[in-house]
Structure 1
Amino acid sequence: MTSKNKKNICILLLIFIAITSYFLWLSNRAVEIIAVHQDYNFSSVLVKNFPLTDKGKINWWLENRDMLEAKFNIPKHAPDGSFTIIFWDFGDGYKEEGKYDRLCFNDMKTDKNCIEKEKYMTIYKFNNEEPFFSFNGSRYLLGESNKIIKMKQDDKS
């Protein structure tokens, strides 16, 4: 093997290590809950450092749902047992409404009460059914022993 080939292999290895380290760092950052806004049985949770993958997001929910209920009283159930929780990217913080299609929270009495609509995860529960998780068109259910099951696109349940 020539020294040029060894040099190229070392450079590629360093790039691989750097990229792997970056993704490990991203996936191991602690999720920061900035705020929770509630409107009846609908909760918006503003977060930073949310997991990158759908599976990581669901696992984070499973590991933290008791804490969310104890600390923030979510989910808030409707009389029929249904609820909706949306986890939003807090991004650059609260902004004025100004820009079209920002999500604004009426429970804040300030001009800066809106965020960009960057949704990480939605959790729905209807009636007494099991909750399901939604991510940009993909939906998942929890099976036995919290096994994550991807729903087919044509599933209505």
Structure 2
Amino acid sequence: MSKKIRIIMLMVAFLGGCLLWLWYRPVEVIAVHQRGNNSTILVKDYPLTDKGKIEWWLKNKSMMKTKYATPQPEADGSYNVILWDFYEGYKELDKYDRLCFDDMKPPVNCVDKNSLMIISRNKYNVTKFIGDDGVYVLQDNGLIIKRRAD
């Protein structure tokens, strides 16, 4: 084979490896902040697609309950969970619109508002996922249906 073809094959293999790493990297839960039935979960390396995000939550929901005591539903079973990107870590409030946590001492107790997914369950036990590409509803039979735009 010519040198040019080997270089191209090496580049394709490298890019493929990078994509596989991005796709299968483990999610790291950094912190959980709780206020009533509202949970804020700070994560690194969350999946890129809505499907991957939902699958991660469903697979790890019981671990989140056991390890982090979240979500903490109201008496009627309702709760809200927002997953936020923790890529750049905690920051000062500064002049930016940031989400700050009362359970931490200032000044470094805020994160940039970069939400990755919202998960909510209502009093009728309907779980809804709000992602980048739409709203998804978990059916009683376990199927996840993308809700049509209103």
Scaled by the length of structure 1, the TM-score of the pair is 0.86
2:72 corresponds to which of 71, 76, 92: 76
Distance 2:145 2:11 in 1: 34
Distance 2:19 2:95 in 1: 32
CA-CA distance at 1:135 after TM superposition: 1.1
Please list every run of 5 or more consecutive structure 2 residues that lacks an aligned counterpart in the other structure. Answer: none
Tell me which residue corresponds to 2:104.
108
SS of equivalent residue, structure 1 residue 106: coil
Number of residue pairs the alignment of both structures matches: 150
Change (3 A) 1:145 1:13: farther
Determine if contact 1:55/1:148 at 8 Å carries over to the other structure.
Answer: no
SS of equivalent residue, structure 2 residue 87: coil
Distance 2:142 2:15 in 1: 31
CA-CA distance at 1:137 after TM superposition: 5.5
Tell me which residue corresponds to 2:49.
53
Distance 1:143 1:8 in 2: 52
Determine if contact 2:81/2:119 at 8 Å carries over to the other structure.
Answer: yes
SS of equivalent residue, structure 2 residue 63: helix
Determine if contact 2:50/2:132 at 8 Å carries over to the other structure.
Answer: no
1:118 lines up with 2:114 in the alignment: yes
Distance 2:20 2:117 in 1: 21
SS of equivalent residue, structure 1 residue 146: coil
CA-CA distance at 1:23 after TM superposition: 1.4
Backbone CA RMSD of aligned residues: 1.8
Which one has the largest radius of gyration?
Answer: 1
Change (3 A) 1:13 1:141: farther
CA-CA distance at 1:7 after TM superposition: 6.1
Determine if contact 1:40/1:76 at 8 Å carries over to the other structure.
Answer: yes
1:98 lines up with 2:113 in the alignment: no
Q: Which moved more, 1:65-74 or 1:126-135?
A: 126-135
CA-CA distance at 1:10 after TM superposition: 4.8
